Structure 1
Amino acid sequence: MALTAEQRDQAERRVRAAIDRLLAGQIPPGGACDVKTLAREAGISRAALYRTWGHLKDEFEQRRSTARAAGQQPDPREAQILRLRAHNQRLTSKLARTHTELAQLKERHQLALSALAAQDDELQRLRRQLTTISPTAPAGVVTLPRP
């Protein structure tokens, strides 16, 4: 069924109004700043948008690309996704640094335990040496070797 000139004008006005709303960030629930939502908001089928009003679809995509290139995000969910991805990347790098620091701390801990074990062995050796020097000395009294 062919559209009258009045119907075509009304449909084109609805598509242009929907383009302006979507690019202004007025995204309907369950929609996005895309061609599918544009067709639904304009009250036409997506196929009709591609066939009959292809120039308006192209205009929408061009204006959306221009807005994105200028740093604007018409769809707040897309901006949120970008923020969350950046936040996730920061957290991932922070986690990697934390794992590296933890590995270094574990290594230092192991070195400190080894040093303490060596010092304990040295103390035990010195105590054994003291008892072999003067086994008859009372407890707590150390006899010094004579020069």
Structure 2
Amino acid sequence: MARLTEEDKARNEAAIRAAMERILSGNLPPGGKTDLKTLAAVAGVTRTGFYPKKNRDGTPRPGAYQHLAEEFEHRVHELQQAGKIVDPREAQIERLKAERAELKNRVAVRDALLEELTGFKQLAISRLAAQHEEIERLRRQITDGANVRALPAAADRTAPYGSCS
């Protein structure tokens, strides 16, 4: 693999900084996120330059653009702390979490109302059953011929003492 010249490195850094500004302003490509993978794709560089490397003897050395990756992650973190979410996916996740919490609350309220109405329905049915039982008892009392007499029906269907009109 060929080494980067200082001119190529400077051109790539300028492209990365321009891509960083685009992404942080919310101008993401379709399917992109606010991460190093999207940053590398928008800048047109490989992701490997953002991560530390190892020399042949095993000692670590920084990647060519690792300082830009750290700056990018730091700026993303600052924007998130300030409440300016730059990733539309994260905004959607937050919106869906809030919507889920609101729906859970509504379901809990409806469950409580349903429980209350079920109790009311049971009480109403038991009262109706008791009233029906009382009506049946009174009807049996009439038919048994106890101390209840039927009133004679008026023959001409007129009031005994004249009209009320």
Q: Per the shorter chain, which TM-score range?
A: 0.7 to 0.9
CA distance in 2, matches of 1:47, 1:89: 40
Instruction: Report the equivalent of 1:144.
Output: none
Structure 1 stretches of 4+ moved >6 Å? none
Instruction: State the partner residue of 1:128.
Output: 140
Gapped regions of structure 1 (runs ≥ 5): 141-147
- In 2: Cα distance, 1:64 partner to 1:128 partner: 85
1:84 aligns with 2:85: no
Q: Secondary structure at the match of 1:26?
A: coil
Q: CA deviation at 1:22?
A: 0.5
Output the CA distance in 2 between the equivalents of 1:24 and 1:98.
42
Structure with bigger helix share is 1
Report the equivalent of 1:145. Answer: none
Residues of 2 paired with 1:78 and 1:135: CA distance?
81
Matches within 5 A, 1:94-105: 94-105=106-117
User: 1:1-147, aligned counterparts within 5 Å?
Assistant: 1-50=2-51, 51-132=63-144, 133=146, 137=150
By relative contact order (CA 8 Å, sep 6+), the higher-ranking structure is: 1
- Name structure 2 gaps, 5 residues minimum: 52-62, 154-165
Which AA in structure 1 matches 2:32?
A: G
Measured in 1, the distance between the counterparts of 2:46 and 2:123 equals: 71
Give the alignment's TM-score, normalised by structure 2.
0.78
Report the TM-score, using the length of structure 1 for normalisation.
Answer: 0.87
Residues 126 and 72 (structure 1), Cα distance of their counterparts in 2 relative to 1, 3 Å cut: same
Shift in CA distance, 30/88, structure 1 to aligned 2, threshold 3 Å? same
The alignment partner of 2:21 has SS state of helix
Q: How many percent identity over aligned positions? A: 44
